[in-house]
């Protein structure tokens, strides 16, 4: 069975919420919809205090190319536009909407019927995706339309679909494939049309056998879609790792996947594409996994953007007594939250409640030069070296050691027997080296 060839680890899976049907999270009394994105420019509000909005109405407009529109997830009245804490730990501009009823825009097709035929042209599809605020739902929230428009001179040859879900605990993509497999595959054909390719590969890790067999059965009714079971290994969901696993090509350092002709999209994104193109529905809700070792009702919830995480966690049985850390996202790359007031954003794939006794890091010891971090690194870097360079502010050396290649997967810190916080230091160095590179390019 295929997998990527360099580095990687195999953390315990703990997929408690696997196979649990998607439930609808209740609509909050007030939705707080963040306008910022982790990547790219923030959206600019196009509504004002006191405005009445319907579900699906645009409330934030993209600023610039790498940015995305934001739509109302609830109907009601705009209470105010103010800053609110988001998962990154910063306060970002957000639209506060007091909820009245649940009135959708009339243009949205709410029926459950699956529409396979797509009559739009490639340009129309891409415009729709951009208008309807579709971003990568795997966590990075990179605007999807940007990936569909290759730089001049480049042409995509294959669409690679990420159904890997390599993070422990999370099951939102898994469950989506089980329940909305056909819609996802229609989404695949739509994107294949948009970027004009004849072939698509859907990579799914082998711990989701039910999803693999279901999708394989469904794929027979489509043309050019191959379902590829992959050996379980983290970080297979990383774009470069997935491309390596699926078509055996390594994206050259410093370039984008399009260099090897690949466009990668996550299954949840494809479902959103399907809804946008076939159902006229902007992106205003997503599946969120709520899980943790001590939690009572693990689950996968369909939640409107802007729902406070506390509400959904409450629905899943409430915060367990012994919780010591709350993470938005998976345990390998998610962000620790200071509060459950944070609301569901486009990139919120899950909430993980970690018991206090497992939450604290152990004391770090000397590096024993065991090479386990080097072996684990999927990018072929030397984390122990980068960490010591970062501690000594050796930025030029770090750049030469290719710190910018680091995908911040955390395999190094995970594997280190001396509990060294490798990624913390590497991330810090990476941010400084990144700044240095940007100022150098600006001067040119």
Partner 1 sequence: MVNQLLEKLYEPVRLKNSTNFKNLLAAGKLSNSMNKLIISPSPHVHSGDSVWKNMRDVLIALVPAYLAGLYFFGLGALIISFTAMLSCVVFEYLIQRYLIKGSTSITDGSALLTGLLLSFNLPSNLPVWIVIIGSLIAIGVAKMSFGGLGNNPFNPALVGRVFLLISFPAQMTSWPKPIPFNPAYLDAVTAATPLAILKGQFSEIPSTLNLFLGNMGGSMGEVSALALLIGFVYLLIRKTISWHIPISILLTVFIFTGILHLVNPELFSVSPLFHLLTGGLMLGAIFMATDYVTSPMNPRGMLIFGFGIGIITVVIRVFGSYPEGVSFAILIMNAFTPLINTLVKPKRFGEAKKA
Binding site for ligand SF4 (CB under 6 A): 367-373, 376-379, 381, 383-384, 406-412, 415-418, 420, 422-423, 426
6 binds, among partner 1, ligand SF4, none (CB under 5 to 8 A by kind): partner 1
Looking at the Cβ atoms of 165 and 401, the one nearer to partner 1 is 401
Rounded Cα gap, residues 146 and 39, in angstroms: 12
Smallest distance from the beta carbon of 360 to partner 1, in angstroms? 4
116, 335, 388, 404: residue in contact with partner 1 (rule CB under 8 A) = 335
Interaction residues for partner 1, span 354-413 (CB under 8 A): 354, 356, 358-363, 365-372, 374-375, 377-382, 384-385, 390-391, 393, 401-402, 405, 408, 410, 413
Give which of ligand SF4, partner 1, none residue 19 binds (C-beta under 5 to 8 Å, depending on kind). none
Cβ neighbours of residue 35 closer than 8 Å, sequence gap 6 or more: 42, 43, 44, 45, 60, 70, 92, 93, 94, 95
Sign of CA dihedral 389, 391, 394, 399: positive
Q: Judge whether 274 and 113 are in contact, CB under 8 Å.
A: no
Task: Tell me, residue by residue from 212 to 251, as one string, x for binding to partner 1 by CB under 8 A and - for no binding.
Answer: ----------------------------x---x-----xx
For partner 1, the closer CB: 92 or 375: 375
CA max distance for the chain: 64
Q: How far is the CB of 4 from ligand SF4 (least distance, A)?
A: 12
Which phi and psi (to 5°) does residue 28 adopt?
A: -75, 170
In b/e form, how buried is each residue of 293-314, taking b as 16+ CB within 10 angstroms?
Answer: bebeebbbbebbbbbbbbbbbe
303-322 residues in contact with partner 1 (CB under 8 A) are 319, 321-322
Per the DSSP assignment, residues forming a β-bridge with 33 are 95
List the x/- string, 167-196, binding to partner 1 by CB under 8 A: -x----------------------------
Strand pairing report for 350-355 and 158-163:
unpaired
Bridge-based pairing state of the strands 58-62 and 70-71: antiparallel
**Which residue among 333, 342, 387, 398 contacts partner 1 (CB under 8 A)?**
333
**Which member of 184, 340, 345, 403 binds partner 1 (CB under 8 A)?**
340
Residue 389 Cβ, how far from ligand SF4 at the closest point, in Å? 12
Applying the rule CB under 8 A, the residues between 89 and 108 that interact with partner 1 are 89
Q: Which is nearer to ligand SF4, 279 or 430 (CB)?
A: 430
Which of partner 1, ligand SF4, none does residue 382 bind (CB under 5 to 8 Å by kind)? partner 1
Angstrom distance (rounded) from CA 289 to CA 352 = 8
Q: Which of 35, 268, 423, 433 binds partner 1 (CB under 8 A)?
A: 423
337: β partners: 326
CA distances from 413 to 6, 130, 131, 376 (A): 17, 37, 40, 9
Binding flag, residue 338, partner 1 (CB under 8 A): yes
Instruction: Please give the Cα distance from 361 to 344 (Å, whole number).
Output: 27
Q: Is 11 in the site for partner 1 (CB under 8 A)?
A: yes
Work out how close the CB of 6 gets to partner 1 at its nearest, in angstroms, rounded to a whole number: 6
**Smallest gap from residue 248 Cβ to partner 1 (A):** 13
- Indicate the DSSP class of residue 105: P
Residue 303, binding choice from ligand SF4, partner 1, none, Cβ under 5 to 8 Å by partner class: none
3-class DSSP assignment, residue 116: coil
Dist. CA 244–CA 242, nearest whole Å: 5
For position 39 contacting partner 1 by CB under 8 A, the verdict is no
Contact partner, 420, from ligand SF4, partner 1, none, Cβ < 5-8 Å per class: ligand SF4
DSSP single-letter state for residue 234: B
């Amino acid at each position: 069975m295929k997998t990527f060839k360099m580095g990687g680890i195999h953390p315990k899976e703990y997929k408690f919420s696997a196979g649990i049907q998607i439930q609808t999270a209740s609509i909050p009394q007030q939705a707080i919809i963040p306008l910022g994105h982790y990547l790219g420019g923030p959206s600019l509000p196009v509504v004002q205090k006191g405005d009445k909005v319907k579900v699906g109405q645009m409330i934030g407009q993209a600023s610039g190319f790498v940015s995305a529109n934001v739509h109302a997830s609830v109907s009601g009245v705009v209470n105010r536009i103010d800053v609110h804490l988001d998962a990154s730990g910063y306060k970002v501009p957000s639209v506060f909407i007091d909820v009245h009823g649940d009135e959708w825009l009339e243009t949205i097709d709410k029926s459950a019927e699956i529409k396979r035929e797509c009559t739009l042209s490639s340009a129309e599809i891409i415009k729709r995706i951009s208008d309807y605020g579709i971003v990568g739902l795997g966590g990075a929230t990179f605007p999807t339309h940007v990936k569909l428009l290759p730089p001049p001179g480049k042409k995509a040859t294959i669409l690679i679909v990420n159904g890997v879900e390599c993070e422990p605990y999370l099951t939102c993509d898994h469950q989506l494939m089980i329940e909305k497999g056909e819609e996802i595959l229609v989404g695949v054909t739509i994107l294949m049309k948009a970027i004009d390719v004849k072939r698509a590969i859907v990579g799914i890790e082998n711990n989701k056998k039910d999803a693999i067999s279901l999708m394989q059965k469904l794929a027979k009714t489509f043309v050019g879609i191959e379902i590829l079971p992959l050996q379980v290994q983290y970080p297979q969901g990383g774009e470069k790792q997935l491309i390596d696993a699926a078509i055996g090509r390594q994206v050259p350092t410093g370039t984008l996947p399009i260099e090897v002709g690949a466009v990668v999209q996550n299954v949840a994104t494809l479902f959103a594409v399907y809804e946008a193109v076939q159902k006229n529905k902007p992106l205003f809700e997503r599946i969120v996994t709520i899980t943790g070792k001590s939690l009572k009702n693990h689950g996968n919830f369909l939640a409107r953007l802007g729902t406070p995480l506390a509400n959904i966690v409450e629905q899943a049985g409430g915060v367990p007594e012994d919780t010591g850390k709350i993470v938005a996202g998976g345990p390998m790359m998610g962000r620790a939250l200071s509060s459950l007031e944070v609301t569901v954003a486009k990139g919120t794939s899950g909430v993980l409640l970690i018991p206090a006794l497992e939450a604290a890091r152990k004391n770090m010891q000397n590096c024993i030069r065991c090479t386990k971090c080097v072996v684990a690194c999927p990018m072929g870097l030397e984390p122990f070296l980068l960490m010591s360079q970062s501690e000594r502010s050796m930025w030029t050396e770090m750049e030469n050691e290719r710190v910018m290649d680091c995908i911040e997967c955390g395999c190094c810190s995970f594997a280190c027997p001396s509990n060294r916080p490798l990624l913390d230091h590497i991330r810090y160095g990476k941010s400084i080296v990144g700044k240095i590179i940007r100022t150098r390019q600006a001067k040119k």
